[in-house]
Amino acid sequence: MADLTITAANVKLVSGSTQPIIAGAAVTAAQLVYKASATGKALLSDNDNPTPEVRAIHGMALHAALADQPLTLALNGAVVELGVILTAGVDYYLSGTPGGICPRADVISTDDPIRVGMALTTSRLQLDINDPGVTL
């Protein structure tokens, strides 16, 4: 399997908290971002980056934004509709592709297994972000 292919029009908040932020780079709907400490802006999270801040997940983008544009994030605990692309009951993780989401089986050696959440249905993901601080 590979990273989830998410159609932007399918991304919708079902429930949970959101937060406005300014994008620090181009971001598409459903990409995972961290909040850069130097600028306070949203940048793409990446599980195989050597910098802990870049491996962190602050939230999931609910729509696209270009650099320096407003962006709304779904925060930990939120339920997000992604379209029928999930397997119910499966855990999903931050991938080695910046901002990407993949099933656990695709987290490879040298990656950090940073859990994004669990599929509640074939289309809804509940964010349950957890970084155990381990590198495979």
Q: H/E/C letters for each residue in 22-35? A: EECCCECCCCEEEE
Q: How far is CA 87 from CA 25, 56, 123, in A?
A: 30, 24, 8
Please name every residue paired with 65 in a beta bridge, in sequence order, or none if there are none.
Answer: 27
For residue 1 the two structure tokens come to 């399997």
pLDDT for 135 equals: 73
pLDDT for 24 equals: 98
pLDDT for 133 equals: 76
Q: How far is CA 133 from the centre of its chain?
A: 17
pLDDT for 48 equals: 85
Between 2.40.300, 1.10.287, 2.40.390, 2.20.25, what CATH number should domain 8-130 receive? 2.40.300
Q: Using CA atoms, how far apart are residues 61 and 8, in angstroms rounded to an integer?
A: 10
One digit per residue, the tens of pLDDT, for the chain of length 136 reads 589 999 999 999 999 999 999 999 999 999 999 999 999 999 999 988 889 999 999 999 999 999 999 999 999 999 999 999 999 999 999 998 999 999 988 888 878 899 999 999 999 999 999 988 777 6
pLDDT for 112 equals: 86
Note the pTM of the prediction, 2 decimals: 0.94
Q: Using CA atoms, how far apart are residues 135 and 92, in angstroms rounded to an integer?
A: 17
